[in-house]
Amino acid sequence: MSEVQNLLERDGVRLDLDDTVAYVTLCNAAKRNAQTPAVWRALAEAGRLLPGQVRVVVLRAEGVSFSAGLDRRAFTPEGFDGEPSFLDLARGSEPELDATIGVFQEAFTWWRRTDLITVAAVQGHAIGAGFQLALACDLRVCADDAQFAMRETSLGLVPDLTGSKPLVDMVGYARALEICVTGRFVHADEAERIGLANLVVPAAELGDAVADLVSALLAPPRAAVIETKALLSGAADRGEQEQYGAERAAQGRRLRDLVGLGE
């Protein structure tokens, strides 16, 4: 896998494996981990490369910023080396544009797999695509200097990297609308208060806080964690009776497994 890992790192993403924990690191600190289509392909590939024993994935970033968002070269006529600019993409057909954005979104969707618990460790700025990448994870541990902002509307765009639903789910429609349309910064203390951040710690303690959380997440049996995540992640889309039935079915599977009658 080392050759593939080198290719990922060339595009600004590093994948490190430690038994049941994987660490995905944005490693282009010189550009504040600005995102490009190459970064998105690397992130999607990192998800595909995870071995089956991985239970927890930590998303982190080098440097002072988690991610400053989309690299603005996307909006220049020349774009990125070997890549069409977003201006070129806009001139293509609607099906082609839809398919291209769908490929970009693959970097943001695998974090919600029910067999994984994903944790974003956020320091400094998490703007636009960076905000949406943090939202892709199940949990967010933030340094006290973390600042979130959704700046897409200021560019005449919308948040299209799968961040709109989790943002509404976490903070509600009205607050999500206000955050997205104004593009204002949500600082760490507010992020914790409104449910964006699970925990805020001094920047120097971010690594230790994430390590403590990872240990706690690995403590229960994996099958129980998978069933619980599936129950909770689908709860908003189920009615009460459907959710009650899902609970009964999940508990039945767990009880049968505990007595050795599982499949």
Q: What is the CATH number of the domain that holds 66?
A: 3.90.226.10
How confident is the model over 209-261, as pLDDT tens digits?
999 999 999 999 999 999 999 999 999 999 999 999 999 999 999 999 999 98
Same domain for 249 and 150: no
Same domain for 231 and 170: no
Q: Record the pTM.
A: 0.95
Q: Which of 72, 1, 59, 2 lies closest to 31, judged by CA?
A: 72
Same domain for 170 and 119: yes
Cβ-based neighbour number of residue 200 at 10 Å: 22
**C-alpha to C-alpha distances, 145 to 179, 210, 237, 243, 246, nearest whole angstrom:** 18, 16, 34, 38, 40
Same domain for 162 and 247: no
Within a domain: 263: no
Judging by beta carbons within 10 Å of its beta carbon (0-12, 13-18, 19+), is residue 32 exposed, middle or buried?
A: buried
Domain span holding position 41: 2-218
Same domain for 37 and 50: yes
Total domains in the chain come to 2
How confident is the model over 123-135, as pLDDT tens digits?
999 999 999 999 9
Same domain for 167 and 104: yes
Q: SS3 breakdown of the chain: % helix, strand, coil, rounded to 5? A: 55, 15, 30
